[in-house]
Chains A and B, each alone.
Chain A
């Protein structure tokens, strides 16, 4: 029994952390909000260089052939730096989905994804929009029990405005056809379920990072901000808010790592483990957001201070790939708890 990430996995986390600190500072995030694509200039190439984009692509297709356990700390870092790029959708969901369905579409696209030359966008039934669809070279769309691989010129995109200004959300109008179908029936249903679990686990990891950064920012601020002649961080009311947020977030951490492990090892308990991770991490990150806003005071209620970009990412991700209530209901079903009169 060894419940801890490996030294190699920690080293990779450090490398990503250093890269993001340098290439994705909050000023760059604010700039990205104003661009058409929502991308941080140059970041994609750096991520490709580091090998992150091909992390989950099989070695036979030019990737590293690694899995969710290797990815979880990196997604946490992406959350910590509020990276707007759709890394989770591409690396945690898209590439594994193509790899498991195999076939010509996978052969065509996986090498390009791994090299950072192509992006896929994911549209599962759990979301009314497809994120970053306009910058995608291929859309993987769920249609009931079917998965379709659809070219951008075969869809009509309508840009939606998200509360998260770094997120490019689109409504996608499209027609499923025999030509676009890459999985159906029980295979399609299972693939969609696994894609959903991978997406939920990835969002949980990002939420951990978002929550962590919101706490760290708030602690630093509370140490420096003086009111009534002392740092506000010395007031017990402020300390207790932060201690509660820290506790809730850190208790959610092991379940997030555990969910990654369950997916990687195809555990029968995967839906239960993923739901545990997503529900706890979503609620914890939400508390971190509320705590950060309250303990900063008015400054965090402005666009002039950068924390709002983290807060809005939390508001989006806690609801993506199933919100906490959905996941508790799914877990209850897994545990055999049905409700009577409800």
Chain B
């Protein structure tokens, strides 16, 4: 056990810290708003120019071949400096790993370079009105068809919903039933779809926090050429599930993000001692400890992955932990704010421009998206503890 960072890691941290402290845009309007989105995109382009958008990617795609440990450092410094949410995160964290593993050379060269510089923004087309936690119940379908130029491909029909940032995205990656005879997980294919083509309609939906960060996406015969099917036809489910790799638990939401959040809570408590009674002080300490525990869990996991261990379903342990941690940190802050917690924006009597409430509403989605906490508990019980499926 050696918890010292290497010289190379310290140097990388110093570089990140200096760049973020000097450049991170502060006080941006929310990512999921018409006003805020373009400003976030602009910031992504700046990150990309500095080769800091996707540090763990190969150099040929604009990365730095960073190790998982270095990526954790990047995340710590990014959020420590108050870096904004990543406009490119669906592309970077959800689509790109699938492309790296299953994409053809042509797909990789065509699609990957446009992700980190925000030249093409991607959203995820998985959930449907009738398929949320039970994703395999999806009914959107793909039919064999010819394109306008006679090329072979597919026509898509159906609806995807709760599509995060669908309104602001250029493209979507989604699962569609390509074998009409199939049931459940079999017979689905993974499609890359341009949202600006005929047969695609995007309807914005306002989220709990009031931002139009959701969308419903309708497909009515939109044509997709064969070259935009990722991986084998009818094998989409397995591609979607297998693409994330052992680091998934960490990359979904990095420890650095919550450590920064907990440090801000500690800072709030320190600058408002008159609002913090013994019970709140107890909760502030608890939140900080839980964030610290995830930071250490991250270091432990990264070490084991470097040693060749696949932590597998532990990603569910992590998601259960940080889903609640995010909410608990914000509820503690709201309780410190007391009745002033309701006030948003500039206010003589509010606290931190209502940011805690806004971020709280945002974080309330955590136990729902990416597999609800109930699904995660099933995974922990069945795959880690070995309890019977039925």
Contact = CB atoms under 8 A, between A and B. Distances in A.
Interface of A: 1-6, 69, 215, 219, 222-223, 230-231, 233-234, 236, 238-240, 242-244, 246-247, 250-255, 257-258, 261, 275-276, 279-280, 325, 328-329, 331-332, 335-342
Given A240-B377, A253-B300, A338-B276, 14 more contacts: A4-B304, A5-B1, A234-B389, A234-B390, A236-B374, A243-B376, A243-B381, A247-B380, A257-B1, A328-B286, A331-B289, A335-B288, A336-B270, A342-B279
A255 B300 CA distance: 10
Contacts of B381: 233, 239-240, 242-243, 246
Given A234-B390, A341-B277, A247 B321 contact: yes
Given A234-B389, A242-B385, A4 B303 contact: yes
A225 to B, nearest CB: 11
Nearest to B320: A247
Interface of B: 1-6, 9, 69, 266, 269-270, 273-282, 284-286, 288-290, 292-294, 296-297, 299-300, 302-304, 307, 314, 317, 320-321, 374, 376-378, 380-382, 384-390
B1 A243 contact: no
Contacts of A69: 1
Contacts of A342: 276-279, 281
A246 B385 contact: yes
A219 B385 contact: yes
A215 B385 contact: yes
Given A233-B388, A239-B378, A339-B277, A247 B5 contact: no
A332 B262 CA distance: 12
Contacts of A340: 273-277
B38 to A, nearest CB: 38
A244 B384 CA distance: 12
A339 B304 CA distance: 40
A332 B284 contact: yes
Given A223-B387, A234-B388, A342-B281, A3 B299 contact: yes
Contact of B285 (A1, A223, A332, A341): A332
A251 B281 contact: no
A1 B6 contact: yes
A258 B295 CA distance: 11
Nearest to A5: B1
A276 B292 contact: yes
Nearest to A9: B1
Contacts of A246: 317, 380-381, 384-385
B2 A1 contact: yes
A15 B169 CA distance: 57
Given A254-B300, A276-B293, A3 B390 contact: no
8 contacts: A223-B386, A234-B387, A242-B381, A246-B381, A279-B289, A329-B285, A332-B281, A337-B281
User: What does DSSP make chain B's interface, helix, strand, loop or mixed?
Assistant: helix
Contacts of B274: 340-341
B386 A219 contact: yes
User: What does DSSP make chain A's interface, helix, strand, loop or mixed?
Assistant: helix
Contact of A254 (B5, B296, B386): B296
A257 B288 CA distance: 18
Contacts of A325: 282
Given A230-B390, A331-B285, A3 B277 contact: no
Nearest to B389: A234
B172 to A, nearest CB: 32
B297 A339 contact: no
Contacts of B279: 342
A2 to B, nearest CB: 5
A4 B299 CA distance: 9
Contacts of B314: 250
A244 B377 contact: yes
A340 to B, nearest CB: 4
A233 B307 contact: no
Given A255-B293, A329-B281, A4 B1 contact: yes
B285 A251 contact: no
A251 B380 contact: no
A216 to B, nearest CB: 9
B276 A337 contact: yes
A337 B293 contact: no
B288 A1 contact: no
A104 to B, nearest CB: 34
Contacts of B374: 236, 240
A336 B385 contact: no
A13 to B, nearest CB: 14
A236 B376 CA distance: 12
A338 B273 contact: yes
